[in-house]
Chains A and B, each alone.
Chain A
Amino acid sequence: MNLRKYLKVYKKFLHTSLASELEYKTNILVDLITAILSLVGSIFLLSIFFQNNGYIGGWKFEQALIIQAIYTILNGITNTWFNPNLTEIVKHIREGTLDFVLLKPIDSQFFISLKKINPSGFLEIMLGFFLLIFCIRINQINLNLSFLSQSLITISCSICILYSLWFFISTTTIWFVKTWNAIEVLRSFLYIGRFPLNSFSFSLRVFFSIIIPIAFITTIPSEVFLGLSQLWKILLEVIVASVFLITSRKFWLFALKFYTSASS
């Protein structure tokens, strides 16, 4: 793979999608306001849960805020990259415009996963980081190299798991043509990621750890922030993320053999 070429193409992707989005100023403004209100609303909801009970699943409100911060960062990444690109796969397949992608001398997964960005998602990422910094202060977390590397690894793994799940569902469009509902179900599960895994019953914990690994996405990185994480859990998240990433890639290449293009 020619890295220089891919960087050049990605720079062009950033440029063209920013230029496209900036054509509609009002839309950007509405998106920015929605991002702020959504975060304020989520914190308010979380505070209601903790109002009568100081602890939920063994987590204090200040600790649960870390999960909210990580969720906000991941949701920002979702809105910046995954939502504009991965939902478009369904459209590409339904309308047959995937033809143009497949005939370009560039990796098709790279193209369809990164072609667009939604700049308003950046604000959500920034808000998430501000909230995380605030949480680090109120929880008096000691910032050292081990902590930083562990949090970076777990958050990167969370992004990989989230991307792979979404990409996997979108790929099934090649057979099922319409998969909007499945993506909506995935998004609904992600909302669950705002709450500590321990606050759920045993069966739900198993479901969200093994079947749909939402637990890996927010809870394990949050445990790292609170110094509660164990090394085996981090290693497990790395393995899960690698397996998901490789499987989604193989599945995409396999599915392309069944692509029939839309009729003209």
Chain B
Amino acid sequence: MVQNIIDVRNLSKSFDISSKEPGLKGTIKHFFRRQTKSLKVIKDISFEIKEGEIVGFLGANGAGKTTILKMLCGLIYPSEGSILVSGYIPFRRKENFLKNITLIMGQKQQLIWDLPPIESFYLNASIYDLDKFEAKKRIKKLSEMLEIDEELFIPVRKLSLGQRMKSELLAALIHEPNILFLDEPTLGLDINAQRNLRKFLQKYNKETNATICLTSHYMKDITSLCKRVICVHEGAISYDGKLDLLLKKLSPVKEILIVCRSEEDAIKLEKSGFTVKNKIKNEITIKIENNSITSSLKTILNNFDIEDLFINEPPIDEVIGKVLIKKDYDI
């Protein structure tokens, strides 16, 4: 049986936030008498993650995804509740815990700006107490997986964003962690760079059985990497489960465009009891529930003279967008 590697119970986090009225008067008032209020950004959440799982955290900006990741890796002290990651309490930041995890942030970098990435890799290797031979071996293996070679010897400031991100990944993985926390790792990357990064993460997960917790606003990252998603809405979990179940729940019908041989066939089909979205000459678009697609299509093909048909999936961004504004999904 696969064990839970992350166990979160009744976790909450509050921050003191100061607010300021607009204008000069507001600025002066803010300077002398700052008004702060406690804001609960994470509200009593609980979940477990099994070893080797890739879990996507979904939510609108400010929903609390990054705060959850930062509490999981021990950067932020929780206000209430408990977290166990790989058997450790993250905030204690024990050496063995830190050797097991890594955090990659798409919008922040740890590489030394003026030097080639290889220098940062060897610095990290010394921090993780790796000898030169072992470090060299790991750099070679990871650079092959990430398909980078000459870039390792070019100053970071001269690398493209994609090349820099690959180097960031290598720097963050040199100690072969078994839990990866990724906060928008594909931010700002072009389509090819995004795809390569996803390919690498899949391969890394497959080869090392590493657990990956990922936040991203690019739905392709989530759909191609994560079987399970945790949706966060205003600091609370609105859905925790399989991604395909969520998609089925959110888009229970598919649209099918049917091109009939003649307009008469289209009229016959229009009157046959299917939910019709629209009809233009011999082309008719009907809506069919996901669970009756096979039987409905069989009926249509047997009873009508069909030239062609197209099954349209609703755009994933549109479907997931619904999650970001809704509070609860019970499946």
Contact = CB atoms under 8 A, between A and B. Distances in A.
Best-buried of A95, A100, A258 by chain B (most CB within 10 Å): A100
Interface string A97-139: 1011011111000000000000000000000000000000000
Chain A contact residues (Cβ within 8 angstroms of B): what range? 20 to 34
Interface string B268-288: 000000000000000000000
Interface of A: 2, 5, 8-9, 11-13, 15-16, 19-20, 23-24, 95-97, 99-100, 102-106, 257-261, 263-264
Interface string B143-186: 00000000000010000000000000000000000000001100
B73 interface: yes
Contacts of B95: 105
A9 B98 contact: no
A20 B115 contact: yes
Contacts of B109: 97
Given A15-B119, A261-B70, 12 more contacts: A19-B114, A96-B108, A99-B75, A103-B101, A105-B127, A105-B129, A257-B77, A259-B75, A260-B15, A260-B76, A263-B66, A264-B105
Contacts of A11: 126
A211 B30 CA distance: 30
B122 A12 contact: yes
Contacts of A102: 74-75, 93
A100 B123 CA distance: 13
11 contacts: A8-B126, A9-B127, A16-B112, A19-B115, A20-B112, A99-B70, A103-B102, A105-B127, A260-B15, A261-B70, A261-B76
Contacts of A20: 112-115
Given A20-B112, A23-B155, A99 B129 contact: no
Interface string B70-111: 100111110000000000000001011011011101011110
A11 B127 CA distance: 11
B99 A105 contact: yes
